[in-house]
Amino acid sequence: MDTVISVENLGIRFNRNRKRKFSIREMVLQNKNTTPKGSFWALRNVSFNVKKGEAVGLVGANGQGKSTLLRIIAGVLIPDEGKVEVNGGVAPVIELTGGLKSDLTARDNIWLVAGLHGLNRKQVAEKFDEIVEFSGIGDFLDTPVRHFSSGMRVRLGFSIVTSLDEPILLVDEALAVGDAEFKIKCYNRMEKLLKEGKTLFLVSHKEEDLNKFCTRGLYLKKGQLVIDGTLKEALDAHLKEQGALDD
């Protein structure tokens, strides 16, 4: 059994007062101690393993640590406690449009983003047509991305990242965007990637999406991993909690 993601006793702490920036004047004049007082654990004592080819859905209400966990696995956040080991490359379907540079054309952006994710020239050249085709940007290939609609940007971003051919796919609510036609294309691509034996880690509020792709479910509540079982178990726990709130 090859474990591709191994999370052990993970913990990460954030500042509660989300006034993110503090000025030097404040630090000097008010002698303000910014760290321990107002901090909270966004995730704590979280441990689990994901095996190759598994499709895991991450369930929980807003602000329970789902995206934070995803970003730690993606390697763009560093935990304060514990260990995360990821064997193999990661295709992060996170902040999809963020990597695109609006002054550059779609063509330049494909080369740039694919290259930053580690594809060499030859690999980009091979996948280039497929990326263009899938994104459906057509005639706008040589148009600066700043003229794109937000939907077009997401499509371009999604096409690039899901073409990376990395063994692990991390998806953060990205499926909720795009028009109906593109949504179907996304679903098909995700299914294809799963069939190829990729590992999927999906964060979503949409039961429909979770049911479609995931078999295993993790339920996060207040930064704790409450349920690690089948997707149904995780969803039931989540819905029960939601229901309790509604009453």
Can you give the binding site for other proteins, defined by CB under 8 A? 12, 14-15, 20-25, 27, 71, 74-80, 90, 92, 94-99, 101, 103-104, 108, 111-112, 115-118, 120
Cα 155 from Cα 97, distance rounded (Å): 9
Give the count of beta carbons closer than 10 Å to the beta carbon of residue 54.
18
Q: How far is the CB of 235 from other proteins (least distance, A)?
A: 27
18 versus 195: smaller Cβ distance to other proteins: 18
DSSP characters for 42-96? EEEEEEEEEETT-EEEEE--TTSSHHHHHHHHHTSS--SEEEEEE-S-EEEESST
> What's the length of the chain?
247
Cβ proximity to other proteins, 97 vs 234, nearer residue: 97
Angle formed by the axes of helices 150-162 and 180-195, to 10°? 10
- 223, HSE (Cβ side, Cα atoms, 13 Å): 14
In the complex with other proteins, the residue whose CB is nearer, 5 or 231, is: 5
Q: How far is the CB of 20 from other proteins (least distance, A)?
A: 5
For other proteins, give the closer residue by CB, 81 or 241.
81
Nearest distance from C-beta of residue 76 to other proteins, angstroms: 5
Nearer to other proteins, 111 or 187 (CB): 111
Q: Which is nearer to other proteins, 57 or 79 (CB)?
A: 79
Tokens 């039931």: give the residue: 236
Residue type (1 letter), 55: A
Structure tokens at 176: 């909720």
Angle at 33 between CA 32 and CA 36, to 5 degrees: 155
Closest approach of Cβ 8 to other proteins, in Å?
A: 17
* Run of H or E residues at 39: strand 39-51
Residue nearer to other proteins on the CB measure, 131 or 234: 131
Shortest CB 78 distance to other proteins, Å: 4
Task: State in angstroms the smallest separation of the CB of 21 from other proteins.
Answer: 5
Work out how close the CB of 171 gets to other proteins at its nearest, in angstroms, rounded to a whole number.
12
Q: Which of 247, 85, 52 is nearest to 167 (CA)?
A: 52
Q: Are strands 224-230 and 216-221 parallel, antiparallel or unpaired?
A: antiparallel
